[in-house]
Chains A and B, each alone.
Chain A
C-alpha cells in the first residue's frame, strides 16, 4: 500500500515538473519583457509553441542519421529522469534513493552528450560551432558543479539529495562560508548550463555567438518540441535544485500526508516564481559576454567550488 502511495506521489511529481517547466520559461520571458517596458507574450505562450511544434511535420536534412531522430527522445528522457530525482515539493520520494546528486549531474551530461552529437550529425558549420562551444562550456561547468557537490556532500555528510535537503532543513546547519561559496558557484553553473545571458542568449537566432540554438538549428516539428521541453525542464531542475538546497522551507517530509504535500507543492510553485523573476532581473541587468570570456566567468565558479571544498577539508567549522 505504501508502495502504491509512493508511486502515486512520484508520478505526481514527474507530471508536475513536466507541466510547470514551460510555465517557468514563459514567466522568465514575461518578466524580462516587463523589465524592458514591453508587454510580452502571455505566460501560456511556451505551451502554445510546444503544441504548434507537435502538430507540425518534421523536416529532416537529407543526410540526417538515425541518431538525429533518436537523440531528442533520449535527451528528453534523461533530463526528465534527472528532474524527477530532485526534491521539488517533497523529500524522500520513491525514486530519489536510486541516484544521488553526482548521478543527476551525470544524467544531464548524458543529455548534453547526445545533444552535441546531434548537432554534428547533419554536418553543417552551425551545428559544429554549437557543439564545440557547448562541450567547451561544459568542460568547465561540470567540474564546477561537481566541486560544489563535494562541498554540499561534506557539509551534509551525504551525496543523497534527500539527505542533504533534510540536513539543510534541520537546525544543525548554520551560516557557513563554504555554503555561501557553493551557492554562488551553483548560480553561475546554472546560468552557464541553461544557456542564459551572459553565457548564451536564449532569444537569439542567426547569430555567430549562439551556442545552444546553433546545435538544434536543424531540428523541427516534434523533435524540436522535445528538445525545447527538455531545456525548459533543465532550467526548472536547476531552479528547484538551488531552491531545495538553499531555501528548503515548506518541503514535505518522507511520510507526509496530503495536506503537507499540498503545502509543499504551493511553496514550490512560489519558489519557482521567485527564482524565475530573479533570473529575469539578472539577465536584464547584464550584457552578453564574448565566447572566450565565458571560461573566466565559469572559472570563478570552479574556483569557488574548489575553495569551498578545501575549506571543509581544512576544518569542519567553515
Chain B
C-alpha cells in the first residue's frame, strides 16, 4: 500500500511537470507547480517516515513497464525508507522555498517543467529494485538535473558547467551499468533479489567495487571525480542547487551503499582501505578548495565534497569492521555515516537557500561584493548562522553529533587485524579533525565576509529581507538542525533498522538512556548529552546576562569604530574573502595548490601601483583531466581530416575496411 501511494506521488510529480510545461508562461504557473510538489513530497515524507519507524516488512511491487520480460520492480526496505525521508524532506523544503524564490525566476519555462520531474527521478532511484529501472531512473534524474543546470544557459560558464556535468554523468552511469552487469553475472538476472544471492570471485568483486566507486563516486563528488560538482551545483537556480548538493549526492551515497553493502555480499578488507583513503583525500581537499573560493555558492558546493568524504569515511570504517567481525563497531560507523547524510541534507539545503536569498536580494554571488547583510537581512542572517555553526560541527548542533560518532568509531579500530587498516585509520582520524577545524575557518569566512562588516558595494546596501516562504523554509531547516542536534538519540534509534538490515547488528537503544544522552558503546567509554549541554549553555548565558544587567553598568553608546584610533571609512579596507584565507593559503596552499605569490614592486620614484599576483593550480584538473582532455582533442584533431576527403577516397576507405574485416573473419574462423 505504501509503495502504491508513493508511486502515485511520483505520478503526481510527473503530472506537475506537464502542468509546468503548460503553465510556465503564466504567473500562477510557479505557484501551482511548487505547491503541488510541496504537497506531494510532504505526503511521501510522511509515508517514508512511517515506514522507517514502523520497521514493517518491505513492500514490493512489480509493474509491467520497462523491459517486457523483466517489468519494473520496486521495493522499500529500511535503507530505501531512510533515503526517501532524506529526499522528500529536502524536496519539500526546496519546494516551500521555491514558492517565494521561484517568483523571481527570469526563465520559469526552463525550470518549472524539469523541477518536479527531477524530484520524481530522485524518488524513483531510491525505490527501484532491479538494475534496469535503477539505471533508467538514475539517468532520468541526471538528465533532469542537467536541464536545470542549463536553465540560465546564456551564461557561457553555465554552458561549460552543463557540458562537463553531462560528460561526467554519462561516464558515471556507464560505470554503474558495467557494475550491474558484473553483479548480474553471465546468467544475468537484473532484479536485486537475485543479485543478492550471487557469489563473486575476488577479481570480479574488486571490479564491481571500483566501478561502483566510479559510478556513484562521480555523482557524489569523490575526489578526483568531483570536478563537475562545484561548476554545476552553483549554476542551477538556488533551490535546485540545494537539491543537487543536499539530496542528489545522498542518492549517490545510497547507490554506493546499496551496491557494496547490500548486493555485493561480503566485501574484502582492502576495499575499506581504498574507500578510506579516497574519502580522506576527498575530505581535506574539499574543504581546502572551499576555503579558496570567493563565490558563495561555489564555496558551498566544494563543501559538499568535504561532507561526502566524511560520509564515505563512515562507510569505509563500517566495511572494515564488518570484515573483522566487529558488528557493533560496524553498526556505529554506518550509523554515523547515515546520520551525517541526514545532517548534511539539512544544513547544506539551508545554506544554499541562504545563498539564494542573498543572490536574490543583491544579484551577487561573489562575497567580495557583499558584506553587512546582517543589518538588512536579519532573519536570513540568523538562519544562515545556525547552518554555518551546524556544518562546522559545533555542539550542541547536529553536525557535531555525527562527527563525534565517527570519532568514536575510529577509536574502536585498534583491534582490527590488518596492518594496512591499522596504519591508515589514525591518519583518517587526523584528517577528519583537520577538516573539522578548516570547515569552521571556512564558514567564519563565508559568514563574516557576506553578512558581517560593512557593505562593499552599493548593491549590498540596498539588499532586502527574503520573502516569507523562503524564510519559513529556512527556519524549518534551522529548527531541524537544532532538534536533531539536541535529540540525537531518536535519530540514532530511527537508523537502527537500516544497520540491522545491512550489517546484521545495530547500536544500542538510545531513547531509554538517562537524560536523553547518547552512549554508543558503554557509559564508561563515552557518552554525550546534547540536551544537557544545550540547557547548560543556555542557562549559563542567561544567568550571566541577568547578573550583568542586575549588577553591572547598563550604559551604552554608539560611536565610530575604534580600529586602534585610525579607522578608514572606505569599506575596501576590510578583510575580504581572499585576504581572510591568506594565512591558510600560506600554510596549506603551497602543497595543495602549488600556490605562488608574486609581488611586482615598481622602483622608487615610479608612480605605478605595486601588484600582488597569486596563482593557484587545480592539481586534480592539471594532472588528471588535462591529459585526458588533451588526448581526446589531439585524436579528434587527427580524425578531423577524414571530414574533408573526396568521394573517391571515402569509397576506397570503405572498400579497404571491408577487405580488412573479411580478412579478420577469415583468419578467425
Contact = CB atoms under 8 A, between A and B. Distances in A.
A56 B556 CA distance: 9
Contacts of A159: 407-408, 411, 525-526
Contacts of B581: 132
B599 interface: no
The bracket for how many chain A residues form the interface is: 35 or more
Contact of A95 (B434, B532, B580, B584): B532
A158 B579 CA distance: 41
Interface stretch (A36-44, A108-116, A245-253): A108-116
B575 A128 contact: yes
A136 B533 contact: no
Given A59-B559, A76-B541, A102 B448 contact: no
A124 B567 contact: yes
A268 interface: no
A120 B576 CA distance: 10
Contacts of A132: 445, 575, 579-584
Interface stretch (B70-78, B265-273, B422-430): B422-430
B563 interface: yes
Interface in A113-167: 113, 116-117, 119-129, 131-133, 135-136, 138-143, 146-147, 150, 153-154, 157-160, 163
**DSSP majority for the A interface?**
helix
A73 B539 CA distance: 11
Contact of A120 (B453, B538, B553): B453
Given A135-B584, A159-B408, A124 B528 contact: no
Contact of A98 (B447, B533, B551, B579): B533
A67 B556 contact: no
Interface string A81-120: 1001000000000010111101100110110110011011
Interface residues of B, number: 89
A136 B585 CA distance: 9
A206 interface: yes
Contacts of B408: 159
B557 A74 contact: no
B354 interface: no
A59 B563 CA distance: 13
A221 B553 contact: yes
Interface in B489-530: 515, 517, 523-529
A57 interface: yes
A312 to B, nearest CB: 6
A113 B392 contact: yes
A316 B583 CA distance: 38
A18 to B, nearest CB: 10
Nearest to A129: B575
A80 B547 CA distance: 15
Contacts of B541: 73-74, 76-77
Contacts of A265: none
Contacts of B544: 73, 76-77, 80, 226
Contact of B553 (A56, A62, A110): A56
B525 A160 contact: yes
Contacts of A106: 393-395, 400, 404
A61 B448 contact: no
A225 B548 CA distance: 10
8 contacts: A62-B561, A67-B381, A99-B529, A102-B407, A143-B433, A150-B411, A154-B414, A222-B553
Given A125-B563, A159-B526, 7 more contacts: A54-B552, A54-B553, A57-B553, A106-B393, A110-B394, A295-B587, A306-B426
